[in-house]
Structure 1
Amino acid sequence: MLGFIVNPVSGNGRGAMVWKQLEEELRQRNVAYLVRKTSMAGEAKQLAVDVLQNGSVTGIVAVGGDGTVNEVVNGIHESQVACAFGHIPAGSGNDFARGHNLPRDPLQALEKILQGNVTKTIDVLQLNGMVAINSVGAGLDGQVAVTANRARYKRWLNKIKLGVLAYFLAVVRVLLTYKPCSVTVVIDDRQETLENVWLIAVANISSYGGGMQICPDAVPDDGRADICVVSHASRWSLLRAFPLIYTGKHVHHPAARFFRGSTITIQSERPMVVHADGEMAGVTPITVNVARRRLTILS
């Protein structure tokens, strides 16, 4: 039996509309299921834990955006119960769906989940007692994630189906005032000390922030994370180069350096805000460990 965790307010109410479609389809097909709906931020994790206490649940489906995905996967991680994970996108960014080529149409996504014959096992990123499955970021992108999630214009943009622009506007807003700092990064046994660091992104898939191709070559099941470090650049040169990130062409910019590794430690001269899948996850110093092929997803 499948358990569904639904965030009704994701995508400015799209979650509720998507669930209405799904529920009607499930009933018409006489599919047995459990459903729990969130009523506040952060609740999806505990709901996933509660659903997994039902011994007949073999898979959990998150209906919402990347924040809901993160919470549900953390619930699976905390419960230590083996189960498959499915996702039906209903958020503004939907990077997990993009990164794994999941259908955007709710009924098509449900059909693939119900078939259950296509699965893959992916890595997860472990940090601070939690996990991320898309990316972890420190510095400017951590501050951007916090700013975008709090912005009033995000809800308005979601209403007109332009929610991804919230991240773009947040980047411009934060970049105008953010101050880079010195950072030491240890990737496996290699240490890099860098000055004037704007951000460090640790990626399990290619995109974050609603389609920004931060690490275009990231592979979610190779046991390694791709790391992008942006440093030694002026504020205005970054603003001019920023559009390149949507096509991945920033990889040729002299301010961007790329690494791969399975254990990444980030220390900075002053605390840098850290995000995990776009949600606030503390400040530096942090260590991110790649747990290889830890989560089975229905794709």
Structure 2
Amino acid sequence: MTSDITLFVNPAAGRRRAPQAAQPAARALREAGFTVRTVVGVDAQDALHRARQAVAGGTGALIAVGGDGITSLALQAVAGTGTPLGVVGVGTGNDFARAMGLPVRDPAGAARRIAESLKGDGGREIDLGRAGDTWFGTVLAAGFDSRVNDRGNRMRWPGGRFRYDLAIVAELAAFRPTPFRIRLDDGPEQEIEATLVAVGNTSSYGGGMRICADARPDDGLFDVTVVGPCSRTTLLKVFPRVYRGTHLTHPAVTVHRVARIELAAEGITGYADGELIGPLPLTVRTVPRAVRVLGA
């Protein structure tokens, strides 16, 4: 194990808390005996390039400081390389950090957990999802939820989460089920109508919405939650149950456990870890033991 490790910092995460959080995290890691260098990109592509350079250069670990966005970028750099991932979760959602049982908004505590893992077990091996060339750790979403993301990303006002609250209201006004074509593993192609399809490596997205409540990141399978066609009234009744994971018992909801899924629908984009993947069709597969997560 090399003692040289890399902090990978999102300067905008958590209302710009990440740069401040990087300082106590770095201090805790140095107190544990590690040499710490920091990588901050001018934009996402530059940040990813720098992270990949650090991995190629033999860094002992890549430590993402921020939320699910910077963690997603870090996964693109470390997946399949053998370089372990650490997460100091100080973003808005932190779904990946929570799924791994890691401290959230406690940068020094998270860093101490990472240091103990580096010196001890070397991290927990988990599965990742892959859509095309993009890796993801939590949930890939397509349908109503991705339409909300599309609309929210087009809006210039207001800022923060309120933008997405307004986007939900606007999408509800235009709400309609979507015709999907799906293929589960090597089964036949099916034509269905659905409100949304969520492909879960872990249980939650959107800051604690447990859309794939029973998903486990170490079983080699996705939990695919399909919310079938329903009325606005039904959607509004079911939606609050997502935070507890009790929506899975609703008659409009079905769950499939698969290693691979093909998704196609006109005018629908896919988002994974909250980041845009691209328009459907998409083929999504699970890759067992694709990364080691420190402290998990």
> TM above 0.5, one fold?
yes
Tell me which amino acid in the other structure corresponds to 2:38: V
Match of 2:215 in 1: 218
**Deviates further, 21-30 or 234-243:** 21-30
Structure 1 SS opposite 2:210: coil
RMSD over equivalenced CA pairs, Å: 2.1
- Trace 1:104-183 onto structure 2 (pairs within 5 A): 104=104, 105-116=106-117, 117-118=120-121, 119-148=123-152, 155-156=159-160, 169-183=166-180
1:266-281 equivalence runs, <5 A: 266-268=263-265, 270-281=266-277
Aligned to 1:102: 102
Spell out the pairing of 1:27-46 with structure 2 (5 A cutoff). Answer: 27=30, 31-46=34-49
Cα distance change on mapping 1:224 and 1:82 into 2, 3 Å: same
Match for residue 194 of structure 2 among 193, 197, 204? 197
Cα distance change of structure 1 residues 279 and 294 upon mapping to structure 2, 3 Å threshold: same
Alpha carbons 2:85, 2:292 under 8 Å: kept:
yes
Structure 1 counterpart SS, 2:255: strand
Conserved? CA contact 1:271–1:285, under 8 Å: no
> How has the CA–CA distance of structure 1 residues 27 and 224 changed in structure 2, closer, same or farther, with 3 Å as cutoff?
closer
Contact between 1:44 and 1:72, CA under 8 Å: does it hold in 2?
Answer: no
Look up the match of 1:60: 62
Distance 2:29 2:154 in 1: 34
Task: Please state how far the C-alpha of 1:150 moved relative to its aligned partner.
Answer: 5.6
One-letter code aligned to 1:61: I
Change (3 A) 1:153 1:88: farther
Question: What's 2:71 paired with?
Answer: 69
User: With structure 1 as the length reference, what TM-score do the two structures score?
Assistant: 0.89
Name the CA distance, whole Å, in 2 between partners of 1:14 and 1:151. 23
TM-score, normalised by the number of residues in structure 2: 0.90
212 and 292 in structure 1: CA distance in 2 versus 1, 3 angstrom threshold? same
Q: Which runs of 5+ in 1 are unaligned?
A: 157-162
CA change 1:14–1:153 in 2 (3 A) is: farther
Identity %: 33
Alpha-carbon distance, 1:227 to partner: 0.2
With over 3 angstroms needed to count, the CA separation of the structure-2 counterparts of 1:211 and 1:151, relative to structure 1, is: farther
Is 1:184 aligned to residue 188 of structure 2? no
